[in-house]
Each structure stands twice: as structure tokens, then as C-alpha cells.
Structure 1
Amino acid sequence: MQRDKAYVIKHYKKSLDWINNLRGLSEEQWRTPIAPGKWSVAEVIGHLPPWDMFVLNHRIPFLLTDERLPKGPDVAHLNTMAAKKSREQAMEETLNDFISTRRQLLQTIQQWTNEQWQHSFKIGQSEMTIIDYFVGLINHDLHHFSQIQNVIHV
């Protein structure tokens, strides 16, 4: 499968549709754990917007420069806070948070040229292209979407 700008854009557009389809879930389905002792569907979806915001605010401004990337957040803390928030808020609010941040991310990356997608940068000691970075983010989405599908059968 070709991994390029079109692949990334297509995934982000499809992710918006996929999330919108979750609006038909019952409250029980929404609060169902993806596996025993694991997060609920709500918590899994709820942890994605903070990461999109992190990418928007702390990665994208630096990806096309030669500046060093800022240190990432404490993963466990960010995920814990996001899961807590999604346990406390209504499904509609969590879904709207996802859609809002994902649209912002999509609008930003759609503006990049094909050449910009090939720009290399470093995270720690690892060098990668912007396309590689976003393919990694897509794989994270797909992992979680698959977990949810296995539980709610959408």
C-alpha cells in the first residue's frame, strides 16, 4: 500500500466518518470496556483528541524547521487525564472533541506540499519523514478502532 499524503488525508477523513458512526451507540456500549480490565470505548476515543492537539501544537510547528522538537508529554499522565475526562463527560461531547481536533489537524496537513511530506526530522535518535510520522499515528488510530470494533461490532 502506498503511504503518501493522499493515504494520510484519506485516513483522517475516514476517521471522522467512523467516529460519527459511533453516535448510534447506546450508553452501555459506549461505556463497555474493550477487554476485561481495560479502558471503555469512551476512554479509548477520549484519549485521542489530546494527542491530536499535541501534534497540532507541539509537533507541526517544528516539523518543517530544523529546530529541535519539544519534549513530549508524560504519556501515562496525559492518557490518565484524558480517560478521566471521557468518563465524566457525555458521549456527544467526547465525540465532538474528537471531530473538532481531528478537523483542525486535517485542515493543517492538507496544506502541505508533496515535498514537505518527505521532509526528514529527528525524534530523539530516530530520523523519519513527516509521512513516516503520520503513518505511525494512523497505525495508532487503526489499533484502537479495531479494538472498539471487536467489542461493539460496528
Structure 2
Amino acid sequence: MTKQELLNHHTNVMNFVMSLNQLTKNEWQSPIEEGKWSIAEIVYHFIPWDLFIIEKRLPFFRSNQSLPQAPIVEELNKTSSEKAKITSKEGTIKYFIETRTLLKNQIESLTENECGIEIVIGTKKITIIDYLFGMAEHDQHHIKQIKNYLNS
């Protein structure tokens, strides 16, 4: 995936999330499957992950400093789920768009050289652009879940 493809991905995800404004409260808040999150929870959980990349990954990629420890996934997701339940649909979508726009702007500011910088996460060596592509795949996984739910 190129930097431009990644930027297009983020634009498409923002457009998709904005389109969710038309959902009913029930569609927004009902689990997409038994034992799964609601659309509200899925969208809200993107926000802290975007902030993590903005605050705890991109600045460190550029400076060649050691990467801060990643959050504990289960804790971050649990907190996101709880916040999604008390935040309005409009508030969640607005916060998501603001945060994703910040992320997109940060990616846009990466030079081609920076995109190719190799970083080490755990024992894996990966380029910055490949790391960001992995996050985009995470988006796509959840977007597909939402679309399947809405089409059923």
C-alpha cells in the first residue's frame, strides 16, 4: 500500500463513519452479533487507537527513539466500550472524524523516506508505512463487520 492509498483509505473510512449518522438508535447500539460489540462500540474504539498512533508511535518513528509500551488491548477496548455506551452517536462520530483527520494529516506529512524507515516492534522489523497499513487492515476488518450487520 502506498502513502496515497493509505490516505484514500482514511478518507473512505471517515466517509463511511459519517454515513452511519443515518442509523437508528437501535441499529447504532445493538450488538452486531451475539457476544459482539455494537457499531457504537466499534467506532468509538478506533479513537484511542488513532490517538495512540498519533501520540505514541509517529513521533517516535521520526525520532528513532524507543517506542513506548503499547496499551493493554483488553483494557483499552473495555474503556472504549464503556465510553461508547454513554456518548451520543453524533458525539462519537464527531470525535472519530476529528481524531482520524489528525491521524490522516500526520500521515500526509510523512516524507517518502520516513515511510520507508524500518522500526522494530517486539521482534518484528517493519516499515512505518507497513505498520500503518496493518492498522488500516484493522479498520477494514471492522468496517466489513458493520456492513455485514447492516446488510443482514
When you count helix as a share of all residues, which structure comes out higher?
2
1:24-103 alignment, distance < 5 Å: 24-103=22-101
Match of 1:21 in 2: 19
- C-alpha RMSD over aligned residues: 1.1
TM-score in terms of structure 1 length: 0.95
* One-letter amino acid of the structure 1 residue matched with residue 32 of structure 2: I
Q: Distance in 1 between matches of 2:24 and 2:123?
A: 45
Gaps of 5+ in 2: none
Q: Distance in 1 between matches of 2:11 and 2:149?
A: 23
* One-letter amino acid of the structure 2 residue matched with residue 30 of structure 1: W
Residues matched between the structures, number = 152
Q: Distance in 1 between matches of 2:76 and 2:133?
A: 21
Q: Distance in 2 between matches of 1:145 and 1:30?
A: 14
* Identity, % of aligned positions: 34
* One-letter amino acid of the structure 2 residue matched with residue 35 of structure 1: E
Structure 1: which 4+ aligned runs deviate by more than 3 Å?
none
Q: Distance in 1 between matches of 2:29 and 2:103?
A: 27
Aligned partner of 2:151 among 137, 150, 153: 153
Match of 2:107 in 1: 109
Gaps of 5+ in 1: none
1:13-52 Cα distance to aligned partner (Å, 9 max, x none): 1111111100100101101212111111111111100000
Q: Distance in 2 between matches of 1:32 and 1:44?
A: 11
Q: Distance in 2 between matches of 1:57 and 1:67?
A: 13
* One-letter amino acid of the structure 2 residue matched with residue 112 of structure 1: L
Distance apart, 1:111 and its partner CA: 1.0
2:63 alignment partner, SS class = coil
Distance apart, 1:126 and its partner CA: 0.6
